[in-house]
Amino acid sequence: MAEPRSYQVGTLVYSRAALIQVMFWLLWGDFFFQLMESLPSLIPLQLRWEGASDSTLGWLSSLPPFIGFFLFPVVGVQSDRHRGPLGRRRPFLLWCTAPVVLGLVLLGAAKPAGRLVHEVLLGVGIPGLTAAGCTIAWIALCVAIWVVFNAYIVQVFSCLVADVIPREVLGTYYGLYRGVGALGSLVFNRWILGWAETHTFHVYLLVAALYATAFYLIVWQVKEGGYPPPPPKEAKRGWRDIRRYFRECFSHPMYVSYYVITFFVWGALVPMGYLVFFGTKAGQLGYADTLGLTLQQFGEVKGWTLLITIPIYFVSGPFIDRFHPLRCVLAGLGLVSVTYFFGYWFVQTAATLQIWWCVNQCAMAVYLVAVCALAPIVFPREQYGQFISANTAFGFICLVILNPVIGQYFESVRDYRRIFVLCGILTGLASLACILLIRFWQQRNGMMPPIAWVRGGRRPETPPQLN
């Protein structure tokens, strides 16, 4: 009788049942994490409700990536080097969840808090301020608080997955991960978003409480294995550490080409952030016509796009394990770029918006699962947090640059339909970067395994990491 199969990652060894249990708790956390990550989509609406222009939205939207650019490399290296009774990842989840929740609750209270601040400032003799201006300043401050501590959550949660999930099932896990995350986003957009304008504080409070409960359960239920000791700290650090960080992360073009994909894909998120204004009545006076949906109707349309991608997420994981993440990343990006250009020509009504968005998000789903499965293959495991932080820094650079530029652009052209063209160009550039990544991969490791060979059940061995 054959022995039950076991799975190993680092010093952790799982039976099938134990692996399923770990995956359950991580996916449980991801559902509520995606609920929480949906809340920042309300920030542009909160700013617009206070009369903020596209330029103001663009400059304030550049604040989170600006903070993250400097903070994420610190977080990655810090968690890689940490050793403690809870491991090297879970302590950061434990410490940073409460401040994240506080920042979200304060964001939910922005409007009454802005009015209170305005009254206090008028009372102490500071004239020339408006309640709307104080509310916008309050939102900016709360966003900064949230970004600082959420940087730890985002980085450490992704690194925890790489530390506790065996590599041979990463594609399957990330397919489930994306599917469950889409369920969380579906719940928010289909049943919560419509309440945001009239019950803003309650929406923030409810989602923040659910998120906190889920992540404290992860800290309790998911165990980390042992890690080798980190490299000894040198007496003189500072610039030497910075030089080493840049040398290790940016010295090989294969790594850089991966970062460039992130740069352009994240860049496409900037114009897509204005899609809510194209779909609803939130456009400014003098702008080209929008679709004129209510916020509730827009949330329902977006909910359908999330619902239809859930089966794509679930089935694409094993598919990516068979056909190699690099092939699937390129295929997904190419389809995403094409569908963006189609959106410019064909989206005229709520129905055509829903059809286009569903097709676009199905292609995006393939890319998102594949790129998650690709990262642990490309980056060294012992420095995974460091390399993920470098990749994230590239994305943040793009957001810092593009957010004010795109805001000024829309204020100039006054036509939100240009969203589709901008996104198509940016994702097309990401496709070109993926072709370069494939070329550098093949120079390092030889040709990727033929599809038929992979389908036979054998997986290629993980190539040795670059020095």
Distance (Å, whole) CA 378 – CA 254: 8
Could you tell me if 203 and 192 are in contact, meaning their C-beta atoms sit under 8 angstroms apart? yes
The stretch 403-408 carries a mean pLDDT of 93
Query: What pLDDT score was predicted for residue 367?
Result: 92
Asked whether residue 208 carries a pLDDT value surpassing 90, the answer given is yes
Report residue 122's pLDDT band, with 50, 70 and 90 as the boundaries.
confident
The stretch 60-76 carries a mean pLDDT of 83
Asked whether residue 140 carries a pLDDT value surpassing 80, the answer given is yes
Between CA 400 and CA 166, with CA 174 as vertex, the angle to 5 degrees is 115
What confidence tens digit (pLDDT) does each residue in 319-366 have?
777 778 888 999 999 999 999 999 999 999 989 999 999 999 999 989
The stretch 367-391 carries a mean pLDDT of 84
Domains in the chain, ordered, with CATH?
Answer: 10-222+246-455 (1.20.1250.20)
Asked whether residue 453 carries a pLDDT value surpassing 60, the answer given is no
Query: What pLDDT score was predicted for residue 81?
Result: 85
The stretch 99-105 carries a mean pLDDT of 95
Adjacent-strand bridge partners of 14: 7
What angle separates helix 90-108 from helix 131-164, to the nearest 10 degrees?
A: 160
Query: What pLDDT score was predicted for residue 455?
Result: 41
Taking CA atoms, 448 is separated from 255, 318, 323, 431, in Å, by 17, 17, 9, 18
* 3-state secondary structure at position 430: helix
Report residue 304's pLDDT band, with 50, 70 and 90 as the boundaries.
confident
What confidence tens digit (pLDDT) does each residue in 263-303 have?
999 999 999 999 999 998 755 677 888 888 888 888 889 88
The stretch 46-50 carries a mean pLDDT of 89
Query: What pLDDT score was predicted for residue 457?
Result: 41
Alpha helix segments (H runs only) across 109-195: 110-123, 131-164, 170-187
More confident call, 54 vs 381? 54
The stretch 124-151 carries a mean pLDDT of 89
The stretch 165-170 carries a mean pLDDT of 84
What confidence tens digit (pLDDT) does each residue in 243-266 have?
888 888 888 889 999 999 999 999
